[in-house]
Each structure stands twice: as structure tokens, then as C-alpha cells.
Structure 1
Amino acid sequence: MARKPETRRRVKLHGFNNLTKTLSFNMYDICYTKTKEEREAYIEYIDEQYNSERLTGILRTVAEIIGAHVLNVAKQDYVPQGASVTVLISEGPVVEAPAPAEPLDAPAGPLPAAVVISLDKSHITVHTYPEYHPDEGISTFRADIDVSTCGEISPLKALGFLIHSFDTDIMTIDYRVRGFTRDIKGRKLFIDHDISSIQNYIPDEVKAQYDMIDVNVYQEHIFHTKCKLRQFELDNYLFGYTKEKLTPEEQRNIAAQLREEMDEIFYGQNMKRKP
């Protein structure tokens, strides 16, 4: 079991904290869509649920949680699907900071969303990727969120909120500290906080729901955690109907396809389904 993060005495620095801390949060939502109409309805549902407006709200909350100030927001909905948002942020208030950018003009028709929030030397971004299998009934929604900060603010503070903001079957989380800063004696500091695993920052009730694998390179300050939902209930993966409308054989076949999709994403390799 991962130990709790320890408190650490503040270190006096020579100047600005130049360490760059980057959290990459990658999530997948899996769904079974039997027909073309179901696939299109699922994509439309995802685009509505995670459009640029809602994504912007999520990223603004992330900035608030980590104690950053939003300087600029850029967002875009795409055709035929997907969205992006980028947010520029700063560790402290900035004099004469630019006002949030106006949304870009978009062509007519349904659009996915993209949002970018910019910070002073720091940023938060999210990109969404709805897609589906060309032959089988699997549809997948992926969202990639990156929170990169300079200074003392830590993106790890927002990890619990990000997890709760998405309906997640698979999560891949990366955290890395780059660069160095100096104390008042000129000694280099390559990390300014204690961490043994990203799991230290995942709420206990969330950890109880997922199988997790860690791959960490401690000497490089690189931390990687993969999570796969433990409990499988077929009704949670059917779009617009329940398993009672399926024969027992259909239920088994669909469950096998869904489990295989989740395993392939979790382990990062294609698997040949047993006959």
C-alpha cells in the first residue's frame, strides 16, 4: 500500500523556483454501440457532455485547486468530433494580465470542444478524442489533460478532482519534475517535495475501485500509474438499453469484447480473442 505524502519543511531559495512539475492525466470511457445509429448517438452524447464550455469549467476549477491564476483561455470545438482547451496560468497575480480570449469562430453544425488555459510560465490543456471500431460495436472516448506548473504550486493537488470529473474505465497518469532550482547557498534542488508514487495522491475510495500498476524511475523523478476499473457490470456499457434485451449468448459475447478492449488499452497491446 502506498504511503501517505509527508510534510516537508519549506526550503529558502536563491530566487524563483524554476522546477517544472507536469501531471498528465489520460482517461478512457468504453461503450458498446451495436448499430451505426447508436455509435452516432454516443458520439453526439460525448460531444455534448464534454464540450469546450464544460471543459473550460473543469480546467478553471483545476487552476483554483492548485492555487494558480488564470491569465488566458483558448478553446475550440471540432468537426466532426472532439474538443480542445488551453489555459495559461501563473503562480501569483500578474499586473495587467490579458483578459480571457474570446472563443474562436466555428463553422455551423455540431462540434466537439477543445480548451486551453494559459498561465504565466505554466499551462493546463485538455483534448478529447471520441472514436469507434470500424467493424465491431466498440466506441471509446479518450480525454488527455496536462497540467504543467512552475514554482511551488503542485498539479498533484487537482488529481482527485480530475478523476471525479470524468466517467473513467481506464486511467493512465504520469507525473514528472524537470529542471532544478537553488537554495540560498547555491546548491541545486532537483525536486522540492517527497513522493514515492502517484497513488499517494489518489483518494482511498478511488483506489479501492481500480487495479493499479506503478512504473517509477525515482532517480529521474518520473512516476507512472495505470488504473483499470475492477467491477464490471454490462449494463454500464450499453448505450440506450439494458442487458435484458439481449440473449445470454449476446451478453457473453459483448462482455468479452468490452473486457478485451479494456485489457488492450490497459496493457498497451493488441490481444487475440479466444474463439
Structure 2
Amino acid sequence: MSTTNKISLYGFNNLTKSLSFSFYKVHYLDNDKVSKQYDQFINENYNAHKLSELLTHICHAIGGNVLNIASQDYQPHGASVTLMMSEEAQPESLVAHLDKSHLCIHTYPDDNPQNKLAIFRADIELSTCGVISPLKVINTLINHFNAEVIDIDYRIRGMTRDSHGNKLFIDDSVVTISDSFNAMVKSNYQFQDNNLSQYNLFHTKLARQQSSLVDIIFAAEDINLSPTQLSLLQQQVNHEINSLFIQKTNEATDK
């Protein structure tokens, strides 16, 4: 078997750390013209090329090298990108020693907005082996997507060994995901932790404390809503965010 393009491994362990996000962004689309502008915005800002740039940035931020990227755009919208990465080579060895780490992203634009509210979802997974920790980019990603609701899972699988040969099933002091949030995230979001630490499973859900209609109304400069309409819209948006946060269907659907 040819060894061309193969990566040499040393000091390798199979402790795998997987960090997964679901970002939910809500936009109000007032009319068909605005809906078309919104579709164009999604295709321009969340296409495979843009997402590849984002994953490349994440890879470098956590101390990795890009090995290869596979990407795909979909019709009428949406995209997927997978990036294979290695840990950065150490100066004394010049050998990369991870070949089983990856980043991937999938986008899910809303094809059927309800009550003129479109929900855009983006899922990201960072799966690393060895010393790289995906937790380093939590705040960067939260800031990048500026989402109304965020669902985060962190799971550690496999094992490694210490210098005495003892098995280790976790190699850091993770207690809860929210410990990694910076002050800005903590002030902008309410969050709820649900952990099974004995199984190395951690889960946190976030919802924006206050959602400004300036961020929610798409093409707001072209839309003129009365104070009463704005008040009703704010209530509607708050209800939508709450339903995403607690994963409860709308009352109208429940009946």
C-alpha cells in the first residue's frame, strides 16, 4: 500500500472531543420582495465558499492545519462543508500527529416561514483527537452567528493513558460548557446547563436575553410598521424564541 500523502503519527491517543452547535436565527420577512432578498442574502453569506472560509478560520484558531475540504451547495439554498484537519506540527519534529479530526457545517434555511418569521439553522461539529480542545472557539462562534437560540453539546469519548500507563477517559477539568463563556456571552444570553458528567456528556442551551427588532426585521429600512404592529411583532418573536429554547410547539399546533 502506498504511503504517499499519509501523515505520520506519534504520541497518538484516541480520546475524541466532539463539540456540536445548532444556531437558530430568526428573521421577519414582511413581503414577497423581502423574502427574495432574504433568500439572496442566505445564498451570498452562507454558501459553501463562505462556510469553507469560516471552518478554515476555526481550524487555525484551535491550532490545526487544513488537510482537505469537501463542500457542496444545494438548490434552492443551503450548503455543507467538511474539513479534515491535523494538529499543527511541533517545531522539533515537523510531524503532524492527528489525521482523524474534522470540522463540518450544514445550513438549513427555512423553506416555509410561519407568520412571516423565517428560522435559519446552522449546525457545526468540531471533532478533535489529542491535545486540541474545541472549547477554545465557543465564544468566537457564538459571536459570529449572533443567533437568537443556540444548542451546544460536548462529548468526550475513547481513552488515553498517562505517563504511568493508567487509562484516562477525560484529560481536562470540564464541569459545564458555560464555564467557557466570556462576559459578553453571559450578559447577552440566558443559558441552561444539563450535564451527565459521569458519562462525560455536557449540554447547554442559550436564548438571547433581549432580541432587538432591528436585528429581526429583514430589510428594516424598507418596512414601515406602526407602533402597535411593532409591539405585536415583538411578542411574536419572543414567543418564537421561547418555543425554540424550551423545544415546545406553538399553542395553535398543540390544539
Q: What is the TM-score of this pair, normalised by structure 2?
A: 0.86
Q: Deviations over 1:14-41 (max 9, x none)?
A: 9522100000011111011122332222
Distance 1:82 1:153, change over 3 A: same
- Tell whether the 8 Å contact from 1:25 to 1:174 is kept in structure 2 after alignment: yes
Report deviation, 1:160.
1.6
Whole-Å separation in 2 of the counterparts to 1:139 and 1:47: 15
Matched to 2:55, the amino acid is L
Aligned to 1:80: 76
Q: Which consecutive unaligned segments of at least 5 residues does structure 1 have?
A: 1-13, 98-118
Counterpart residue number, 2:170: 191
Q: Which amino acid aligns with 2:199?
A: E
Q: Which one of 209, 215, 240 corresponds to residue 230 of structure 1?
A: 209
The CA RMSD measured in Å over matched residues stands at 2.3
Query: Structure 1 residues 121-130 or 252-261, which shifts more?
Result: 252-261
1:202-241 to structure 2, matched below 5 A, reads 202-241=181-220
Select which of 123, 135, 158 maps to 1:179: 158
The residue that corresponds to 2:5 in the other structure is none
What SS does the aligned partner of 2:173 have? coil
**Counterparts of 2:135 and 2:37, CA distance in 1:** 35
Paired residue type of 1:26: S
Residue aligning to 2:43: 47
Q: 1:200 aligns with which of 176, 179, 196?
A: 179
| Deviation of 1:238 (Å) | 1.0
Partner of residue 26, structure 2 = 30
Q: Aligned pair in 2 of structure 1 residues 35, 208: CA closer, same or farther (>3 Å)?
A: same
CA distance in 1, matches of 2:38, 2:247: 24
Q: 2:57 aligns with which of 55, 58, 61?
A: 61
Counterpart in 2 of 1:107?
A: none
Matched residue SS, 1:71: strand
Deviations 1:64-109 (A, max 9, x none): 1111111111111111000111000112449999xxxxxxxxxxxx
* Structure 2 unaligned regions, length at least 5: 1-9
Deviation at 1:131, TM superposition (A): 0.4
Identity percentage of aligned residues? 41
Q: Which amino acid aligns with 2:123?
A: D
Aligned to 1:110: none
The residue number in structure 2 matching 1:106 is: none
| Aligned counterparts, 1:103-252, within 5 A | 120-241=99-220, 245-252=224-231
66 and 96 in structure 1: CA distance in 2 versus 1, 3 angstrom threshold? closer
Distance in 1 between residues matched to 2:30 and 2:15, nearest whole Å: 48
Distance in 2 between the 1:176 and 1:96 partners?
A: 27
Offset at 1:271? 2.9
* TM-score, normalised relative to structure 1: 0.80
**Aligned to 2:165, what secondary structure does the other structure show?**
coil
Structure 1 residue matching 2:220: 3-state secondary structure: coil
Contact 2:189–2:209 (CA under 8 A) maintained in structure 1: yes
CA distance in 2, matches of 1:59, 1:138: 28
